[in-house]
Amino acid sequence: MAFAQHEVLIGRDAMTVYRFLVDGLNNPLWRSGVRSISLRSGQAGEKGAVYQQTLSGPGGRPVAADFQITEARPGAEVRFAVVAGPARPTGGYYLSTEGPNTRLRFALEFHPKGLKKLMNGMIQKTMEGEVVQLEQLKSVIEEQAPEE
């Protein structure tokens, strides 16, 4: 199994952070590997929504990584499952209020089967690179004007 997590404290309220995260179309603003993303089905930011996503893979090759929102609890959590591509991790964003700030934890988990177990080290490293991008998300959200 591969598992990675990272957390940050963002200088915004939980609903502001939640609204930004739950809209998958914001991913290119903070995730460096996203080449393209679009809403394929469902309502943007709601449970069941499926986003078609292409990432930069090994050697810069495009890799499908479509995902579906599996849980959306306003101000508390957003969970998802990757439904296309070579690795199909599940993950989530978990929010908690700390005064005027929001503590945000991003966790990814992948249970490789068959020959994919041989790729566990590479998958682990990729997932660690993904979760640490929360630092960029923190910057993007904090640079936006606070909501009234």
23 occurs within a structural domain: yes
CATH number at residue 137: 3.30.530.20
Per-residue pLDDT tens for 54-104? 999 888 899 999 999 999 999 999 999 999 988 889 999 999 999 999 999
52 occurs within a structural domain: no
Q: CA-CA distances (angstroms) from residue 45 to 33, 67, 68, 93? A: 21, 12, 10, 13
115 occurs within a structural domain: yes
84 occurs within a structural domain: yes
In this prediction, residue 148 carries a pLDDT of 59
Q: Is the pLDDT of residue 4 over 90?
A: yes
Per-residue pLDDT tens for 93-131? 999 999 999 999 999 999 877 666 666 677 788 888 889
The Cα 143–Cα 135 span in angstroms is 12
- Number of domains the chain contains: 1
39 occurs within a structural domain: no
In this prediction, residue 16 carries a pLDDT of 95
79 occurs within a structural domain: yes
The domain of 93 spans 2-31+73-143
